[in-house]
Amino acid sequence: MFYLDDAFFEKVSLPAAMRPLRFRQPFVQDRELASTLFQLHRELEVNGDRLRFEALFVSIFSRLAERYSEASTLAVDQRLDRTAIGVALDYMEANYDRNLSLDELAGLSSYSASHFLRMFRDVVGLTPHAYLTQFRIELAITLLRSGTPLIDIAGLVGFTDQSHFTRKFKRILGVTPGQYAVSSGTRYAGKVRRLPASGALDGFRRYIPDGRREK
């Protein structure tokens, strides 16, 4: 069960133009939202990633408000502020080893968490969590190729533990970090180093503030 304060629910779920919030009925049946709500509970149990949890949370309750509240008939601000997203991307790349939150990223702009999340997906093509995960994996690849010990890499790039890092790495690349290191012929040099975010992954970012995309 989730018990949300009215003001908090409105803050995370609706743009200012859609307030105040009033639901048309006291109960709803929505299998899609029920499924994502179950996923949200699973995230609480097995994952310590604030950004993924908060994005799921905001997405669920913003869709609930959009589908079933009286405010859903009002016009929603659909502006895409690419400059705000560019600021958020710079911030994420400079703080990739921290457990970032959606509220922290949205706070870099003047937008609500729900509107910021929609803007980010529309501009970048990924959720903030997915973008940050891919950025971390690319950093991990760079560290693997440089000979950084495998046991140190998870913490260096911001994953909560080795198993979390291994799962994400394999999901994206299809092999474990150890298998990748062997296939790439890496020889561990025994050095531990933190990569600078600026310029660490030239060509990785697919987003440019004026709306163009890099290949």
Instruction: Tell me which amino acid residue 198 is.
Output: S
Closest CA to 177 of 154, 157, 158, 195: 154
Percent of the chain with pLDDT over 70: 73
Instruction: Tell me which amino acid residue 132 is.
Output: L
Contact 77, 17 (CB under 8 A): yes
Instruction: Answer whether residue 205 is part of any domain.
Output: no
- CA pair distance 35, 72, nearest whole angstrom: 22
Residue 198: predicted pLDDT: 42
Instruction: Answer whether residue 136 is part of any domain.
Output: no
Q: What is the mean pLDDT of residues 71-81?
A: 55
Instruction: Answer whether residue 47 is part of any domain.
Output: yes
- The residue range of the domain holding 29 is 6-127
* Residue 14, number of CB atoms within 10 A of its CB: 24
Question: What pLDDT, in 10s, does the model give residues 181-215?
Answer: 888 766 544 443 444 444 444 444 544 334 333 33
- CA pair distance 186, 178, nearest whole angstrom: 10
Q: Domain tally for the chain? A: 1
* Residue 153, number of CB atoms within 10 A of its CB: 23
Question: What pLDDT, in 10s, does the model give residues 35-75?
Answer: 888 888 877 777 667 888 888 888 888 788 777 777 544 44
Instruction: Answer whether residue 134 is part of any domain.
Output: no
pTM surpassing 0.95?
A: no
Instruction: Answer whether residue 167 is part of any domain.
Output: no
pLDDT band at 28 (very low <50, low <70, confident <90, very high): confident
Instruction: Answer whether residue 45 is part of any domain.
Output: yes
Instruction: Answer whether residue 155 is part of any domain.
Output: no
